[in-house]
Amino acid sequence: MNLFSDRISLAVEKIGASQEDYHEVEKFLQAAKGRLTEDEFKEYIELTKQLMQLKLKISDENGIRNEEKLTKEEQQQWAKLTSKLEPYFEKINGIVKP
């Protein structure tokens, strides 16, 4: 997970987010690791990486996102990724019991 955390840190810096933002992401990843099974966590990380790539593409230096920068295919990918991630977010946030 350290390599992924390092990538997140670079992504956070690239979009101009603060160190505090990075710590929030890191805290969320730790919660994910604690609440998801190993297989779920691996899939969650892979989906999150893909979503982060799209977020970086549409975020300016202040972290403001403009989803209109995405192509139609990327918009479909965005919708698909967020849909796949939703059950993981619910489980991580304790909305759904494991």
Residue 97 covered by a domain: no
Long-range contacts (CB closer than 8 Å, 24 or more residues apart) made by 8-15: 8/52, 11/52, 11/55, 11/56, 14/56, 14/59, 15/55, 15/56, 15/59, 15/60, 15/61, 15/62, 15/63
Q: How many domains does the chain have?
A: 1
Residue 50 structural domain = 2-92
Residue 98 covered by a domain: no
- What band does 85 get if pLDDT is binned at 50, 70 and 90? very high
pTM of the model: 0.72
Write the pLDDT tens digit of every residue in 26-56.
788 888 889 999 999 989 988 988 888 888 8
Query: Is pLDDT above 80 for 90?
Result: yes
Query: Cα(20)–Cα(12) distance, rounded to whole angstroms?
Result: 10
Residue 31 covered by a domain: yes
Query: Is pLDDT above 50 for 4?
Result: yes
Per-residue burial over 26-56, b if 16 or more Cβ lie within 10 Å, else e, is: eeebeebeebbeeebbeebbebbebbbebbe
